[in-house]
């Protein structure tokens, strides 16, 4: 059992609370393994009717994965620990996605990267006025993962592509509008909602409806038409050119955001999201994303991106390749290629 989690039951409700506040509850290997073990034990337990996932304290639900330790793994053990982390995290994400009992996640605060992987597979996803949702992996030489290739292309229009390329930060109202959240609750009603659920475990949908509030207008909606137009292509160079031609301040801001990110990461994201709708199932998606993660952490951009953002914090990464046009199809093909049979990702055996 990880000391960075509270795992317990309230009668028929399993309850998992992230408890790593100094790191905004970022997931590490031990946490991923412990959460999965709890879910697997409750999965076949007839006394457990559903699961709640939240955070115990602090301002973040989950800020992502512990990428600093993964960078250390790349530098010290050839990425072995990093690959173990992604293998376990993706097994957890797949377990959540296929879970037969209702899971309710509370995205109350920072919800990024690995936190998105805990939230989006759940049947019920609660946003609040404190929600801050983003997929900023392009800043550190990675790509939107933990099922993003499956979920983001299924958002309205080109919203998913916009989120993947820009790492845009959404509030709770925008998450609800985009379909990332299923409900919007005031944060001061969450405790009452949780208590009601444990007392009435079979009524999650009714309780969520009862406690839900009307959210503010979603700012993202006002730019949806523009996003659909400017992000219409699956080619990074085309999107950059479209933004360059648009005279609006909004387009200029998004252009600069994209240009600051790893070109390799952006092109991986575009291809992943373009191919996502054709995956046969979520396990297939996870298998492809694991190929990308296992290889991407060994590429120069990952160690350099984490250095620039989280280690030295100079925010001056030197990407390699540095230009979008230098990230060619041969490089992308090598990242997406199947792994050797003994290195491939697979779900928990019980879920095969």
User: What digits encode the pLDDT tens for the residues 79-132?
Assistant: 999 999 999 999 999 999 999 999 999 999 999 999 999 999 999 999 999 999
Active-site annotation holds for 145? yes
Domain 5-351 of CATH type 3.90.226.10: yes
Active-site annotation holds for 114? yes
Strands 5-10, 13-18: pairing is antiparallel
Active-site choice (145, 254, 285, 287): 145
247 C-beta neighbours (distance < 10 Å), count: 6
**In the prediction, which pLDDT does 202 show?**
80
Active-site choice (14, 50, 64, 65): 65
**In the prediction, which pLDDT does 54 show?**
97
What is the 3 state secondary structure string of 79-114?
A: CHHHHHHHHHHHHHHHHHHCCCCCEEEEECCEEECH
Active-site annotation holds for 64? no
**In the prediction, which pLDDT does 255 show?**
98
- Domain ranges for the chain, please list them: 5-351
Confidence category of residue 201, pLDDT binned at 50, 70, 90: confident
Active-site choice (54, 66, 137, 304): 137
Q: Is 306 helix (H, G, I), strand (E, B) or coil?
A: helix
Question: Looking at the predicted structure, is the pLDDT value of residue 1 above 60?
Answer: no
**In the prediction, which pLDDT does 145 show?**
96
- pTM given for the model: 0.96
**180 to each of 131, 137, 200, 234, how far by Cα in Å?**
11, 18, 26, 22
**In the prediction, which pLDDT does 343 show?**
97
Active-site choice (60, 114, 167, 305): 114
Instruction: Judge whether 63 and 112 are in contact, CB under 8 Å.
Output: yes
Bridge partner list, 15 = 8, 52
Active-site annotation holds for 54? no
**In the prediction, which pLDDT does 351 show?**
79
Give the Cα-Cα-Cα angle 305, 253, 270 (nearest 5 degrees).
55
d(CA 10, CA 33): 22
Instruction: Judge whether 21 and 5 are in contact, CB under 8 Å.
Output: no
Confidence category of residue 228, pLDDT binned at 50, 70, 90: very high
Q: Is 157 helix (H, G, I), strand (E, B) or coil?
A: coil
Give the Cα-Cα-Cα angle 107, 21, 35 (nearest 5 degrees).
65
**In the prediction, which pLDDT does 88 show?**
97
**In the prediction, which pLDDT does 273 show?**
98
Sequence length of the chain is: 352
Q: What is the mean pLDDT of residues 242-271?
A: 98
pLDDT tens for each residue of 143-179: 999 999 999 999 999 999 999 999 999 999 999 999 9
Q: Where are the alpha helices (DSSP H) in 98-186?
A: 114-119, 148-151, 159-166, 172-178
Higher pLDDT, 333 or 24: 333
């Amino acid at each position: 059992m990880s000391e960075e989690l509270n795992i317990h039951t309230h009668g028929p409700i399993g309850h998992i609370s992230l408890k790593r506040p100094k790191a905004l509850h970022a997931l590490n290997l031990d946490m991923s393994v412990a959460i999965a073990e709890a879910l697997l034990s409750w999965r076949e337990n007839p006394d457990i009717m559903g699961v709640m996932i939240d955070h115990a304290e602090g301002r973040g639900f989950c800020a992502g994965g512990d990428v600093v330790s993964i960078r250390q793994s790349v530098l010290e053990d050839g990425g072995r620990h990093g690959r173990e982390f992604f293998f376990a995290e993706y097994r957890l994400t797949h377990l959540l996605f296929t879970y037969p009992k209702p899971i309710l996640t509370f995205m109350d605060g920072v919800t990024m990267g690995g936190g998105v992987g805990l939230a989006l597979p759940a049947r019920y996803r609660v946003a609040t006025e404190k929600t801050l949702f983003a997929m900023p992996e392009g800043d550190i030489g990675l790509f939107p993962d933990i099922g993003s290739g499956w979920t983001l292309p299924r958002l309205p229009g080109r919203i998913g592509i916009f989120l993947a390329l820009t790492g845009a930060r959404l509030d709770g109202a925008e998450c609800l509008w985009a379909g990332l959240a299923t409900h919007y609750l005031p944060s001061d009603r969450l405790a009452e909602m949780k208590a009601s659920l444990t007392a009435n475990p079979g009524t999650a949908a009714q309780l969520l409806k009862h406690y839900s509030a009307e959210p503010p207008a979603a700012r993202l909606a006002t730019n949806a038409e523009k996003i659909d137009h400017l992000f219409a292509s699956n080619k990074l160079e085309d999107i950059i050119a479209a933004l360059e031609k648009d005279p609006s301040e909004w387009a200029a801001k998004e252009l600069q955001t994209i240009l600051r990110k790893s070109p390799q990461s952006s092109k991986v994201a575009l291809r992943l999201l373009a191919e996502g709708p054709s995956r046969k199932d979520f396990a297939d998606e996870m298998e492809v994303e694991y190929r990308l993660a296992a290889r991407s952490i060994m590429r120069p951009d990952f160690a350099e991106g984490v250095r620039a953002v989280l280690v030295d914090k100079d925010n001056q990464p030197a990407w390699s390749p540095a230009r979008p046009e230098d990230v060619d199809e041969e490089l992308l093909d090598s990242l997406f290629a199947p792994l050797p049979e003994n290195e491939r990702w697979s779900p928990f055996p019980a879920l095969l």
